[in-house]
Amino acid sequence: MREKIAIVDDEPGVLRALKRLVEANGFTTQVYASGEDFICDSLEDVACAILDVNLGGMSGIEAGRRLAANHIDIPVIFITAQDSPIVHKEAMELGCSAYLRKPFLGDSLIGAVRNAVLESHHK
């Protein structure tokens, strides 16, 4: 059964804060500082991914596209501080589980993670 929550953000402080929040709510995490590191890892035990849209190098949207292209069916929660209608549309077309604009409430993220994990376990 998939158990880990993958968190991808290139800002170390944000990555630490997200890791603490998710783990404080009973989940196991695996953190990545880049989309490339995330995509290159074994994702067999990942229940869902939290992907920052604006990463240095490969964007979160591109990482989501690569998951889809490789038929890796992991629910994705996109997070972004720089929202745009085009990015929002791309995220929705990729079938994201949630799309959150920074700053967001911790409860909003945890609710999205719980929904994504349930979605993952029903696949």
Q: What is the DSSP string of 8-59?
A: E-S-HHHHHHHHHHHHHTT-EEEEESSHHHHHHS--TTEEEEEEESS-SSS-
Domain range annotation of the chain: 4-121
Q: What is the pLDDT of residue 121?
A: 76
CA torsion through residues 68, 49, 36, 86, sign: positive
Q: One-letter amino acid identity for 65?
A: R
**Topology given in CATH for the domain delimited by 4-121:** Rossmann fold (3.40.50)
Q: What is the mean pLDDT of each run of 10 residues along the chain (123 residues)?
A: 90 97 97 96 93 94 95 95 92 95 95 92 70
Q: What is the pLDDT of residue 120?
A: 80
Q: What is the pLDDT of residue 1?
A: 61
CA distance 79 to 33: 14
